[in-house]
Amino acid sequence: MALLQSITTKRLVLFTLLLLATLSAGEKMMEVPSDIRRQSSARTRQWARSELDGTLLVQMHISLAHSNIIEKADQYLFDVSDPGSDSYGRYWTAGDIVKAFASPASASYLVMQWLLGSGVPQDQIQLSNSRGYLLVHTTVARLQQLLSTTCHLQKKTSRPEHTEIVCQSLHIPSSLASFIEYVSISPRSLQPWDGTNNPSHSAVKRAPAAVPHSFSTRSIQDCHTYTSPPCLRELYNMPSAGGVPPHVNSSFGVYGQSYMTWLADDLDRFFGKYEPELVGQRPLVEPIDGGYLQTLYNNTVFNLESDLDFQYAMSLTRQNVTNIQVGDRYLTGDVNNMLAAFDKYYCDALDPAFDSIYPLDPPLPGSYDKTSDCGTVDPPKVISISFNWQEIDFSPEYLKRQCLEMLKLGLMGVTVVVSSGDTGPQSGTDGGTCILEDPLNPLSFTKNATAAGFNPGWPSSCPWVTSVGGTQRRMSTPPQGETSSHDTGVRRDTNVKKPWQENEESLRHVTPSFPNVTLTSGGGFSRHFPAPAYQRAALSSYKELEGAHLRNLAAAGHYTASAMAGRGYPDVSVLASAYLIYLHGQLTSVYGTSASAPVFASMIAMINSERLHAGKQTMGFVNPVLYAHPEMFNDITAGSNMGCGADPAFEAAKGWDPVTGMGTPDFEKLRKILVG
């Protein structure tokens, strides 16, 4: 147990007086935000409740309010990311960030005094290194008394080892309200998820953006039908081989999760076909929290995403691509585990209700035997994440903290690119789910897969990442007279647009593997994050253009007026159809924005190389400059996404739209503005 921070006598007197004034005589209690997850009827059905033993040890995680820099953080990021600003490109160091984001000392002191005054022994309270969190190890009985609540245990019926403590609303003295951001509760020891016993569970809670695929053994014909590196180069005006020499400091990382692994044979087959000089090249593996390349199981779920990401990222950039591999063979790890490895102070924010905490207690054979990695890894300058969760799966506080961490990466000159999902405004696994707001309890949501409120995806809905949606060619078969140009290499002719280049529309595709799911570009509006300044003009223009349609969606209950003020996503889009990849030795065609994100990230990595060669900084957070220069994009105005019973849900339109964002990038134009 860490020692309490020492406090000067003078402060002690001052705060004791303050406390006496506020905590005396039956002080009023008020509800505090907490990580106790919303319960839906769907959820309750899958969980069995039981009584909680009052002597059970639990851990209470009190997040202290940050200094008011959070309100200003938005402006700081804009200052370093807006080309018009004097501070453009003047990125922060990790040290600058720690200093600026620390909690005021008074918060930890006051909260500690309340705990001590309520009878929690001092050695059961631990102040985190960053002074941002207090960890309290206590019993269920004391916790219930302290927070005026009652708790019980919930076990998932299908996975009894998966237990959660669920409490009614938590209360704190109202005088502490401005010092405590939220409280979360978790059992002291975690049950491991044994990924090797039943790998299919992986898809249940922490599933990737489903990358539905259609297996095809047909030989490739041409860019009208299939997508390959030469087609992407042609379509988006990217340089062919040897275009931009990679700069040694232009680092580029792709996020991967424990069991998900690329296969060397597949990479080499792909390189052999498209980039022969890359044969034998491998991603640089950066393991986090025991991350490793899993080889016990070769299947689509485990190998498709990684094979796709690295085949394209490495081919397009021809630079070193890092495989950020998170999680050991028991705990899958998640984006927060990655963020903690970048920022040692964020480690305190890992929340066992969602994130994986290492080491396992007790350890299992081959499990990661160290504590969760904290600040041990330098973030690559571009990070691509082809995974999607749903905003409602997390508490508002969790969303806010993770999103703030994305903002900090932007402050340090890192670009975070995420795929927007493949199921329109209906995020989640198995084709996605929707939300029904319960009028009796505005905080509770019911998942409803057929017709209900749109369900925004995560982390796309965080305003400090660049979210990438998906497009396809309007023509799926080659027009008369066009012959195959693919196998022989595509001739570059930038003056004459081929019909398929002028006919990009938003993704809409049904695969044999998911017959009841139409893949459409993930997009919509956050329910938590208001629209950031950089996109407000683009959003109002869309709402004006689409006013009548949006009012119809609202009238049908898909969309609320308040949601209209939320962060809109995606920001941009990239072809998401019929990517050829090698998977288990077979040439396969795959669909989804999982492909789009690494392609856009590759463009930023190439631009970073060029900027570094010119003695400039990396791009960092790119959204302000993207929205300021719509001329860098092919505006996609055809198509729509669908979901939650609405078809169309959102429609592609002139300018930005929540289907294809600003449109698809023209690399040459992007390069001129971003490098120049």
Ligand X SMILES: *[C@@H]1O[C@H](CO)[C@@H](O)[C@H](O)[C@H]1NC(C)=O
Catalytic center residues: 305, 309, 594
Q: What is the CA radius of gyration of the chain?
A: 25
Binding status of residue 448 toward ligand X by CB under 6 A: yes
Q: How far is the CB of 93 from ligand X (least distance, A)?
A: 11
**From 246, 380, 568, 592, residue interacting with ligand X (rule: CB under 6 A):** 246
Residue 13 or 614 having the CB closest to ligand X: 614
Q: Does 124 bind ligand X (CB under 6 A)?
A: no
In angstroms, the CA 224 to CA 230 distance is 12
Task: Provide the 10 A C-beta neighbour count for residue 72.
Answer: 12
Q: How far is the CB of 529 from ligand X (least distance, A)?
A: 26
Tell which one of 9, 24, 200, 450 touches ligand X (CB under 6 A).
450
39 binds ligand X (CB under 6 A): no
Give backbone dihedrals phi and psi of 539, rounded to 5 degrees, phi first: -70, -40
Residue with tokens 């609303």: 169
Residue 527 near residue 566, CB atoms below 8 Å: yes
249 binding ligand X? (CB under 6 A): yes
Return the number of the residue (265 or 544) whose C-beta is nearest ligand X.
265
Asked if 248 interacts with ligand X (CB under 6 A), we say: yes
DSSP-assigned letter for residue 676: -
φ, ψ (nearest 5 deg) of residue 284: -80, 125
When asked if residue 440 is in the footprint of ligand X (CB under 6 A), the reply is no
Question: Is residue 263 a contact point for ligand X (CB under 6 A)?
Answer: yes
Least distance to ligand X, CB of residue 571, Å: 28
Q: Shortest distance, CB of residue 42 to ligand X, whole angstroms?
A: 7
The span from the CA of 637 to the CA of 626, in Å, is 18
Residue 655 labeled ligand binder: yes
Q: Which is nearer to ligand X, 227 or 446 (CB)?
A: 446
Q: Is 74 annotated as a binding residue?
A: no
673 is in an annotated binding site: no
Comparison of 249 and 441: residue with beta carbon closer to ligand X: 249
- Backbone CA torsion sign across 418, 419, 424, 426: negative
What is the C-alpha to C-alpha distance for residues 241 and 275, in angstroms, rounded to an integer?
8
Residues 6 or more apart in contact with residue 356 via CB below 8 angstroms: 289, 327, 331, 332, 333, 334, 337, 350, 372
* 165 annotated among ligand-binding-site residues: no
Residues numbered 567 to 586 that lie near ligand X (CB under 6 A) are none
* CB closer to ligand X, 153 vs 321: 321
CA-closest candidate to residue 507, choices 601, 573, 457: 573
Residue 55 sits in the site that holds ligand X (CB under 6 A): no
Q: Which stretch binds ligand X (CB under 6 A): 47-55, 162-170, 371-379, 448-456?
A: 448-456
Q: Which of 34, 320, 384, 429 binds ligand X (CB under 6 A)?
A: 320
Cβ proximity of 427 and 522 under 8 Å:
yes
Q: Interaction with ligand X in 287-316: which residues (CB under 6 A)?
A: 295-296, 298
Q: How far is CA 31 from CA 28, 120, 149, 180, 550, in A?
A: 10, 20, 10, 11, 35
Q: How far apart are CA 454 and CA 523, in angstroms?
A: 10
Site track for ligand X across 516-555, x = CB under 6 A: x---------------------------------------
Residues in contact with ligand X by CB under 6 A are: 246, 248-249, 263, 265, 284, 295-296, 298, 319-320, 436, 446, 448, 450-452, 515-516
